[in-house]
Structure 1
Amino acid sequence: MRRSERKQQDPDLGVLAGQLLFSIQDELFAMLADQGHPGLRAQHGAVLAYLDAEGSRATDLARQSGQHKQVVGKLIDELEVLGYVERHPDPSDRRAKLIVPTALGLDQMERSDAIVAGIEERAASAVGVEAYAAFKDLLRRVGAHQRARA
C-alpha cells in the first residue's frame, strides 16, 4: 500500500489535527470576510486568537501561538496596516510594547468568538454533547502532553 493511501485510510494525529485546523480556519475566515473582514488571512490567527482586549506583548503572543517572534512581528505589522491592532507603550514596562486591538480588531474578536461557538455547537450536535466534551478534554490532554515533551 502506498503511503498516501495509508494516510487516507488511517491518518495519523498530525494529519487529523491539520485537517481539523484547516477546515475550521477556512470556515472562520470565509465567514469573517462575509462579515466585513475580507483582508484577514488564516495566518493572522496566530496573533488574533491569543490577543487580549486589553493588549498583549508580542513575546507572549509568540509563546502562546508557538510561532517564532519574527513571524509574529511580521503578522503584527500586517494587522497594524490593516487597522486591527496598534502598538502602545506597556504601562508596566516602558521598554516593552503592548499590541492592542482597535475597534475593528475588537469587532473581529467578537465575530470570531461567535463563529467558533457556532462551529463547536454544530460539532457537538453531530457527535453528541458528551462525546464532544470528552473529545475536547482528550485533545487538551494530548496537546499538553505533547507540549510538555517539547
Structure 2
Amino acid sequence: MDNMVDGTEKVNRVDGMGKGPAPEAVADAPGYELPLLLFAGFRTLIDRLHAELARQGHPGLRPAHGFAMQAVGVRGATASEIGRRLGVSKQAAGKTVDRLIALGYAHRADDPADARRKLIRLTPHGIDALRRSAAVFDELRAEWAATAGADRLRDLEATLRAVVPPHSFRLDAAGWLGGS
C-alpha cells in the first residue's frame, strides 16, 4: 500500500475496526489529517443519521434539508432570511424551500406582522424529522461513547469547544462548501 502523500510519509489512521495504531500512537500526524478526520467523523454521523431517518419514514430528507429546516426555525423565516442563514442566495434558498414544501416538511404562510411577506414554516412532518434527528444523534453519540469511551468522548467534545469559537455554530456549511 502506498504510504506517501506529496512525497511525505503518511501516518496510518485508526479505522475504527481495530486496525491501525492505537490513537495514542498517532502523536505526530500531519496537519492535513485533522480536518479530514473531523470531516470524516461529521460525514459518518450525517450518513448514519439519514439512513436511520429513511427507515423511520423520512426517505427523501437530505443533509441540506436539515440545515434548511434549522434555518427556518420554530418561528418561521422568509426565503431571504433562510438564504442569509445558509450563506446562499435568495434564489438558492427558494429552491431548497420549494423542495421542502414538495416533500411536506414546510409550507408558506402569511406573516402576521407584515401581509406583504411570506413566512416558511415547518409542518408537523418537518418537526417530526427534527425530533427524530435529535434522538438519532443521541443514539449515535452513545455508540461513539461505547466505542471510544465516555470519558474520551467528553474530553474530545470539551477540546473542540475550547478550540472552536462559539460563533462557529452556523448553518452556512452548504454555501461555504459550494463557494457561494
Bigger proportion of residues as helix? 1
Letter matched to residue 10 of structure 2: R
Is this contact kept in 2: 1:58–1:99, CA < 8 A? Answer: yes
How far, CA to CA, are the matches of 1:123 and 1:64 in structure 2? 30
How far, CA to CA, are the matches of 1:94 and 1:141 in structure 2? 44
Which among 72, 75, 79 is matched to residue 100 of structure 2?
79
Which among 121, 131, 135 is matched to residue 110 of structure 1?
131
Is this contact kept in 2: 1:46–1:61, CA < 8 A? Answer: no
**Across the two proteins, how many residue pairs are aligned to each other?**
146
Q: Which runs of 5+ in 2 are unaligned?
A: 14-28, 169-180
Is this contact kept in 1: 2:66–2:130, CA < 8 A? Answer: no
Q: TM-score normalized by structure 1?
A: 0.77
Letter matched to residue 68 of structure 1: V
Match of 1:143 in 2: 164
Which among 16, 24, 29 is matched to residue 45 of structure 2?
24
Identical-residue share of aligned pairs (%): 33
Match of 1:2 in 2: 5
Match of 2:88 in 1: 68
Once the two structures are superposed, what CA deviation does each residue of 1:57-82 show, in whole Å capped at 9, x if it has no partner?
445544554x3134433222211111
Q: TM-score normalized by structure 2?
A: 0.66
Distance 1:8 1:94, change over 3 A: farther
**What SS does the aligned partner of 2:75 have?**
coil
Letter matched to residue 160 of structure 2: L
Once the two structures are overlaid, the 10-residue window that deviates more, 38-47 or 129-138, is: 129-138
Alpha-carbon shift at residue 51 of structure 1 (Å): 4.1
Distance 1:17 1:108, change over 3 A: same
Highest Rg: 1 or 2? 2
